[in-house]
A and B are shown apart, each in its own frame.
Chain A
Amino acid sequence: MAESVDTATAILASAAVLLREQTFDDISYRALADEVGISERTIYRQYPTRAHLLAALSDWIEQTCFPLPPFVTVSDFRAAVHERFRAYDASPAYAYVGARASAISPTLDAEPAYITRAIEAMLDVTAPTLNRRDRRRVAASLRYFSSAMFWARLRTGFDLDAGEICDAFDRATDTVLARLPDATTAQP
């Protein structure tokens, strides 16, 4: 199956190229097939629906264009998210694909994203005695404010640039972390 893995990746790489000129919706399987030099049928075999293609394309873009710096502390987490938001601002077409893919009804058994696990691990270290329900509320809030969706909403709905989005993210993070009892948190 090595060949088909390569084909799948070639399709994604070509889709990413086309994405520089047109929106995801305007990329037809026909045009994509021509770009890769394979049959339309092969693309359908790899990605039976556009939702499958969107999800795979988003994963590929995230790995190749938006690698997340590792973080353990809250301040490293903030820095990693700032870096991501700036990268999104530099490649908005790619970032919107990520935001859209994280909103669609999952096509496969969607695993939680890496950043979700990393945030949970950070809280395990930062607030080891915090009860499970509060920890999940904090993790979910931080995850959601650090997402491509947050960037996309603030850019489209509020016309904010990366600096302003980072500021809004910092303030939202502050309000969430401020809810932790002082004793539970190692200060950033």
Chain B
Amino acid sequence: MTGSTAVPALGGTQAAILAAYAELIEEVGSDDVSFRLIARRAGIAERTVFRNYPTRVDLLLATARWIEATVFVREESHSIFDIPLAIRDAMQRYDARPELAHVVAEAAMRGVSGAAPSLGRVHLERLLDAEVPSLDAAQRRAVIVALSHLDSAATWVTFHREFGMDRRDIADAAAWAAEAVLDSIRDRVAP
């Protein structure tokens, strides 16, 4: 679940642009950052930004991918039953960078034109199929989608906004929900 496979190789200029934009998002929010400001921060010409990212949406989605792959990168889990631990860590990382967590969460909610909303799906499927191969299709799907949903920035956003939870409570509640999802398959591991 490193997410690194989802990120195309970046040139140095592109990485500088995305890093500059991410910095500015944390300073002033994602709405008020002009291409000119990004260019100045990255130390390049404004038209270089446009050449790499013709629209604001292109830039935002690339930045969201970059943030997922660098700032919120996960330690790889070797068992599906370790996923709650990864989720707990991820929530703490989101809490440390709230503006970036919002950007990543929102980019994944734009439908087909947005960021992939299930970065860890392949990894989760591989773990589940290796450890608990006896599930029927609907059971398997239910476990995968629930864990994929919980292992995301949107969890942090929702628990924070709707319930006013702090870092500890969010990490606890998200991991707890993931454990609940795993309860149904706990004793079904292939011998």
Task: List residues of B whose CB falls within 8 A of some A CB.
Answer: 29-32, 56-57, 98-99, 102, 105-106, 108-114, 116-118, 121, 138-139, 141-142, 144-146, 148-150, 152-155, 157-159, 161-163, 165, 169, 172-173, 176-177, 180-181, 183-184
Contact = CB atoms under 8 A, between A and B. Distances in A.
A158 B161 contact: no
Contact of A103 (B98, B139, B154, B169): B154
A78 interface: no
Residue from B111, B112, B154, B165 with most neighbouring chain A CB atoms (10 Å): B111
A141 to B, nearest CB: 4
A159 to B, nearest CB: 10
24 contacts: A49-B31, A51-B30, A103-B106, A104-B106, A112-B161, A137-B172, A137-B176, A137-B177, A140-B177, A141-B180, A148-B109, A149-B105, A149-B158, A153-B117, A156-B112, A156-B114, A157-B108, A158-B148, A164-B141, A168-B142, A171-B139, A171-B184, A178-B180, A178-B184
Contacts of A106: 161
A171 B139 CA distance: 8
A75 to B, nearest CB: 19
B183 A141 contact: no
Which size class do A's interface residues fall under?
Answer: 35 or more
A110 interface: yes
Given A147-B158, A149-B158, A157 B118 contact: yes
A50 interface: yes
